[in-house]
Amino acid sequence: MIGNRLKTTILMTCIVILFGMVGALFGGQQGMLMALVIAGCMNLFAYWFSDKMVLRIYNAQAVDASSSPYLYNMVRDLSRRAGLPMPKVYIIEEAQPNAFATGRNPEHAAVAATRGILDLLSERELRGVMAHELAHIKHRDILISTIAATVAGAISMLANMGMMFGGRNDKRPNLVIALLVMILAPVAATLIQMAISRTREFSADRGGAKISGNPDALADALAKIETHTRRIPLDTAEEHPATAQMMIINPLSGGNLRGLFLTHPSTRERIARLRAMR
């Protein structure tokens, strides 16, 4: 089985190659550079400020050792086990059980848990979930996601440029090929981006199990969360679906559908991999 790190490397290589092919067809070097710079600036802003933005969107409330000793002390203990700086800790007053991590690096990171997940899970299960989120921070998954989003965005821009301007004047591509690339290239880029996201979830599961020392705890937590997220809506996620990929389980109402555009792998497969770590 190909390791998750190698899978991520292969997928990142694929999306860069796709960018080069689309750029060569429509934009040439100047068009490629322009699209990459524009997409890069947009995602650089998101990289630096997305943590504050998403926490504000979910009305997350910061807690400390006095206001929420149970959660705060748990995260502090797991952070020490992971060799990470203590992240900021937040609680979201939502009934759906879920959690996410954000922040541009381990020194500027935060973890957030909903009230629903605090009420639902046992201590051992919650430790597994928080360890999973810390693994995302340790693996710098926000950076990886930002790079993938930058290149995917640049591909979409190049395809739009091709649609508007018809390619470079000195070398217009075949009309049929151009139309196919305009339609399929952004889809392919999105598929690769989603595949990267799914691969990072597997890596965080494995890393979280090692941090907590109990893969079964995370597996049990995922089973519980999956069941409850199907029944309890998270309206904020429905209004801002781009944030769904951050959660430990897809919070959207269509999360039980299996498809290429899902940002999360099958919960059943995640649980099976965790059980195999015993």
Note whether 152 and 174 are within 8 A (CB): no
Structure tokens at 267: 């919960």
**Given a cut of 90, is residue 166 above it in pLDDT?**
no
Query: Does the pLDDT value for residue 35 go beyond 90?
Result: no
Whether 19 is covered by a domain: the verdict is no
Q: What is the mean pLDDT of residues 202-207?
A: 95
A 10 A CB-CB count for 7 gives 18
Backbone φ/ψ region at 218: left (φ over 0), alpha (ψ -120 to 50), beta: alpha
Q: Kindly state the average pLDDT of the residues 36-53.
A: 72
Q: Specify the range with the lowest mean pLDDT, choosing from 8-22, 129-143, 188-202.
A: 8-22
Residue 166 lies in a domain: no
List, in sequence order, the alpha helices (H) in the chain. 4-22, 28-57, 69-82, 115-120, 123-138, 141-165, 175-212, 215-231, 235-239, 267-275
H or E, element range at 90: strand 88-92
**Based on the structure, what is the number of domains in the chain?**
1
Position 41 confidence tier, pLDDT thresholds 50, 70, 90: confident
Q: Per the domain annotation, does 116 fall within a domain?
A: yes
CA separation for the pair 165, 180 (Å, rounded)? 15
Known catalytic residues are 133
Separation between Cα atoms, residue 142 and residue 146, nearest integer Å: 6
For range 237-265, the mean pLDDT = 75
| Model pLDDT, residue 195 | 75
Closest by alpha carbon to 54, among 20, 18, 90, 21?
90
Is residue 262 one of the residues assigned to a domain?
A: yes
Q: Which residue has the higher pLDDT, 250 or 2?
A: 250
Residues 6+ positions from 65 with CB-CB distance below 8 Å: 72, 73, 76
Q: Is residue 161 part of a domain?
A: no
pLDDT at 39: 67
Q: What would you report as the CA-atom Rg of the chain, rounded to the nearest whole angstrom?
A: 20
Tell me what the mean pLDDT of segment 171-190 comes to: 68
197 within some domain: yes
Q: Which of 123, 106, 11, 14 is nearest to 71 (CA)?
A: 123
Q: What is the dihedral of CA 188, 189, 190, 193, to 10 degrees?
A: 120
Token representation of residue 90: 């937040």
Q: For residue 262, what are the contacts with CB-CB under 8 A and spacing of at least 6?
A: 194, 198, 250, 255
Check which CATH number belongs to the domain holding 115 and give it: 3.30.2010.10
81-125 residue pLDDT tens: 999 999 999 999 999 999 999 888 899 999 999 999 999 999 999
| Domain encompassing residue 215 | 49-144+173-275
Tell me if 102 is assigned to some domain.
Answer: yes
Q: pLDDT grade, residue 223 (50/70/90)?
A: very high
pTM of this prediction? 0.77
Q: What is the side-by-side strand order in the sheet with 88-92?
A: 61-63, 88-92, 108-114, 99-105
**Residue 156 within a domain:** no
Q: Mean per-residue pLDDT for 174-199? A: 72
